[in-house]
Each structure stands twice: as C-alpha cells, then as structure tokens.
Structure 1
Amino acid sequence: MLVVVCHDKETATWAGKPMTLTYRSWTSFTLQPLVLGPHNVPAITDPAEVLADTDAAQLWRDKMDTDLSFFRSESAQRLRAQGREQGFEQGLEQGLGQGVARSVLTVLTGRGIELSAAQRKLLADTTDVDQLNEWLLQAVTATRAGELFG
C-alpha cells in the first residue's frame, strides 16, 4: 500500500492517478495510491481534536483496516498444508525414536540391567532411530549396560 499525504488538492489529484507497470505490452501491476489531502481529510488544528473520534480518525481506521484475504487464499492454504505435513513427519520421527528408546529401557529393566544416570540421559537424548534400533537388538542379549553404550 502506498499512502501519499498532500497539502493541496492539485497535487493530491495528480498523486491519486493509478500507476501501471508494464513489460513490453503486458500490464503486470497497477497501483492505486491512497491519497490523503485537504479534499478528503479535514485539517486538525486543535490538539484535543486528535484524541477525539472524528471523521478523519474513522477514515484512517477504515483505510488501515488489515486485508486478511491472503491468509484465506489458495497459496496460503497450500503453505499451511505443507507446513502441517512437515510437522507431522517430524513428529512421527520423534515419536518413533522415543518409543524405541522406551523399548530399550523396558527390555533392559526386564532383564535386571541397571542404567547409570549418564546412560539414561544418553538414551533419552538420542534421536537417531537406527542407533536406537541397534541398542534395542543388543538389549535382548546384553548382560550389562556397558555392552550397549560402551
């Protein structure tokens, strides 16, 4: 949005004309500036009037009202869907890792193998599902935690 403030009507009339950008003979963009001048915004000469609910204040609120149509557009919907899909995939991977880590802990606990605080932290902090699966397979036959975590 281009807002132009003019002090006289002649300049405001000139500035209010649409500006068109073209490439060769194709119109690619037309900008209609919002022109504020003495013809459509009354001058405020009293400082107290600035705080009052005047026609000028209402005009400003109307002109500055946010256009949210982009957020309902097809492009925005595609972007949101893409973000949801990526978030779903990341959440699925993270949940899978946490589940395998719990399985390693369950197998070791069931076999009576205790983990140190450092080993528990290592297991909880590991996000590599391949590494977690390797530890799960080793937990089935291990006799001590050191066989898994070195």
Structure 2
Amino acid sequence: MVGSSHEALHRIFQKDPALLTRALQHVLRIPFPEPREFAAMNVDLTEIEPVERRVDTLLRANTDEGAYLLVVESQGKPDERKRGSWPYYLSYLHEKYRCEPVLIVITQNSATARWAAEPIHLGVRGCPSLTVRPFVLGPDNVPVIADEREAERDVPLAVLSAMTHGRGPGAAAILESLAAALRTIDADTAAAFVQFVDSCLGDPQAQQMWRDLMTAMQYFFRHPLAEQVREEGRVEGREEGREEGREEGRAQERADTILRNLLWRRIDVPDSVRGRVLSCTDMDELGTWLDRSYQVTDAEDLFAEDRT
C-alpha cells in the first residue's frame, strides 16, 4: 500500500517507466530519445566504502551577497574523467555547505584551456538537466606582466603570470620583473611565491634562470628551496671538477650562470667573452656581469664600464 504522496509520485514511474519519458517528451517538451528498454536499478546511493575525492584548493569567500566556495583545479592536460568529477564536486559541496560553489580551472596550456572551458552538459542532448561552466585561467587570458612597476602593484597576479607564461624567450622579462617585485613584500610570503613559481616552470632553462635569480636574494637563503638550489650547485661543481676551494667553486658557478643566461636568451657569445667570464675570480665583478646578463642584447655589453 502506498503510504504517502511522496512515495506515490515516484512509484508510478516504477510501475510504468515509459510514462516518465513520455512526460519529458510531451509535458516538458524535452526531445528525449525514445527508450528501447528499461532496467530497474538500486535506489540506494550510499557509498559503502569511502571514496577519496579531492579538489586542488577549496576556499570559502564571504561577501555581502553571501558565501561562495571557490573550487580551484589545476589542469595540465585534458582529462575526460573531470567532466564527471567536476559536476560531482559542485553538487556535493553545495549540499554539504549550502554555499554557491564556483569552479575555477587553471592551466598553462592553451589547448587545455579551451577544453576546460567547454560547458559540461549532463542529461538530454540540447536540453540538459545539469550544466557546469568552469571559469578558466590560462595563457590566453592571464595578463603577461613583464614590467617591474606593474609587478609591484600586484605581486600575486605577477606570480600567476609567471606560473602561466614562464616559458620561451619572453620568460626572462617576466621572471626578472617578479624577482624585483618580491623584494617589496615580506620574506615569508615571498618565499612561498618563489616555490610556487619554481614548481610550475616546466622549461628547465626557465627554471634554472629563476633559481639563479632567487639565489641572489638574501632572505631566500633561509628557505628549503634555496638549500636545494645550493646543494644542486655543489653537486654540479663536484661533477665538473670544481673542488679547488669553496670560493673558486662559487666563482666558477656564477660564471657558468652568466654564460647560460646569454645562451638561453639566444645571445651569441664570442670566445673572447667566454674566456674573460670563465677566467674571472672576482665575485663582485661576476655579480655585476650576472645582473647585466639578464638585460644586455650583446654579450660584449657585459663589460661596459658605464653601465650601472
């Protein structure tokens, strides 16, 4: 015996499943395709075993209009499984916290950005029951910040710019501007930003340039990544036979960095320049040349006496 209107409203469709699709087609005017057959399924959606589901970042933003949940996903490449898990995340979070969830996808790849921005439609083709529209931050819409003053005005945005665009010939100006801007904020926050950028730079040359820039910043030496950079430098020095003393090894390492920067920036290095740099043991002079190696357009300009 049917005990309630609630039960009756769904039991009728168990009795005649075709009624449900006819209602969609003729009452709601939804172009639902004609079913070939029906199969009863277990109505219990309880998960017997815990299923681990994690988002990359989840933040609650309280505003005058109410609270929002910001769901941030970092996506390296298209993954069709996300088109099922993202709607699940949003529905689950809305049910659990009774806040409006907002899905934000961050990527460094334009093709992935286009894929992630495609709406996710669940239900009848052309008339879905659920549509999820991710907001995507990627190389096509995150601004390129390659100016020091602009980076100082919004350091976190400059960090995002470096994380998104930090590759190719244009990376030098972006990373240099950010490095200068990091000096204007507190050391602990800057160190965290340093590690974010380091983790996102997939281009080995860009990552090495970033580490060279950061090694020159004194506060950075107090943080784990700096120790990692120094250890890598020591290992590299041992492998290349630079064990003739700590000071000599540091000079050789700095000279190599100067030449590597020029090479990475596609600046031709004559033998005369290479020889002068490699033979120098004056750390102050090498430091000056290192700073210039990020800016000059001609290798000979490393030695210009009138540069500051």
Higher relative contact order (CA 8 A, sep 6+): 1
Please tell me the TM-score bracket, short chain as reference.
0.3 to 0.5
Higher normalized helix content (fraction of residues):
1
Larger Rg: 1
TM-score between the two structures when normalised by the length of structure 2? 0.19
Under a length normalisation based on structure 1, what TM-score does the superposition of the two structures give? 0.39
